[in-house]
């Protein structure tokens, strides 16, 4: 029997940190992004984070992955024996503060794989503490601080080309389309309307938007709505109400889309905040 299990745990330390503990057999994430840093490690098996499942984002057992806020990625199990991993979602401001306090400058990072047995062990240990109700908040805070220090050390030694730099002449027009989606995500939007705003043909818009941002316009809009849904769920808003507010046809529609991006159901996510 194929099993896909995922649990999320939260803590208020360092501006608020979430950790996803996943044990997947065949789960596939759709292309998406987070407004936080995604920092994780594979416990067993392998995972492919590349947005188009091209195999250029493979993270093997014992390796660490660091994905910057806003960086589009996906996710699929890349091992016949499944994949177990932990993924922390940390606030951008807190990571930058750690760099400042350690007298380091944060590099340009998009999607990075790191070989660091020490950081791998610390991340796995910190995730286990967050999942253990008997662990004190002080224990967790110390553990995460140790992780942050190691992350700063590793990233400070890394030089990465910024993958978000413009790659085609139409970037400014595509940015207009992207900004329009961000400002009107809670409204009904048509492709004709979006193309007019960007002054591009519908076909050119769709093809080039995906090339530049690694995600199609419709999936970008869906991601914006899902991020809003995540916020409302953490605030205690009922799932059915969240579906309506965020533009999903019903609760089941929200559930399918939410799990495809975050790995667990809206109810399971909301329960963590009760």
| Ranges of each domain in the chain | 4-156, 171-271
Banded model confidence at residue 202, pLDDT cuts 50, 70, 90: confident
pLDDT at 2: 60
- Predicted TM-score (pTM) of the model is 0.75
**Cα separation of 63 and 112, whole Å?**
10
Match domain 171-271 to its CATH number in 3.30.750.24, 1.10.10.60, 3.40.50.300, 3.50.50.60.
1.10.10.60
At 248-261, the pLDDT tens digits run 888 999 999 999 99
Quick one: DSSP state of residue 75?
E
Dihedrals φ, ψ of 236, to 5°?
95, 10
> What is the C-alpha to C-alpha distance for residues 17 and 144, in angstroms, rounded to an integer?
9
Residue 162, pLDDT above cutoff 50: no
CATH number of the structural domain 4-156: 2.60.120.810
Name residues whose C-beta falls within 8 Å of residue 72's C-beta, 6 or more positions apart in sequence.
Answer: 31, 32, 33, 51, 213, 214, 215
pLDDT, tens digit, for every residue of 12-70?
Answer: 888 999 999 999 998 888 889 999 999 999 999 999 988 765 667 789 999 999 999 98
| Neighbouring-strand partners of residue 21 | 7, 86
CA torsion through residues 5, 144, 150, 231, sign: positive
Give pLDDT, residue 165.
47
């Amino acid at each position: 029997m194929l099993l896909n299990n995922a649990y999320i745990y939260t803590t208020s330390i360092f501006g608020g940190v979430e950790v996803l503990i996943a044990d997947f057999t065949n789960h596939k994430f759709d292309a998406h992004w987070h407004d936080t840093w995604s920092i994780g490690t594979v416990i067993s098996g392998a995972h492919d984070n590349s947005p188009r499942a091209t195999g250029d984002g493979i993270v093997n057992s014992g390796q660490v992955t660091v994905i910057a806020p806003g960086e589009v990625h996906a996710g699929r199990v890349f091992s016949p024996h499944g994949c177990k991993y932990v993924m922390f979602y940390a606030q951008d401001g807190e990571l930058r503060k750690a760099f400042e306090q350690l007298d380091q400058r944060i590099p340009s990072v998009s999607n990075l794989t790191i070989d660091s047995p020490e950081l791998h062990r610390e991340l796995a240990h910190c995730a286990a503490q967050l999942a253990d109700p008997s662990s004190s908040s002080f224990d967790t805070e110390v553990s995460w601080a140790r992780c942050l220090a190691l992350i700063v050390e590793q990233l400070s030694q890394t030089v990465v080309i910024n993958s978000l730099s413009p790659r085609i002449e139409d970037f400014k027009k595509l940015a207009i389309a992207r900004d329009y989606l961000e400002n009107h995500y809670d409204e009904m939007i048509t492709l004709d309307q979006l193309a007019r705003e960007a002054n591009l043909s519908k076909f050119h818009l769709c093809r080039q938007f995906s090339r530049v941002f690694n995600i199609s316009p419709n999936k970008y809009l869906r991601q914006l709505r899902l991020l809003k849904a995540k916020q409302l769920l953490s605030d205690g808003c009922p799932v059915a109400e969240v579906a309506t507010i965020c533009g999903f046809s019903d609760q089941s529609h929200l559930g399918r889309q939410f799990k495809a991006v975050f790995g667990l159901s809206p109810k399971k996510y909301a329960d963590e905040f009760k």
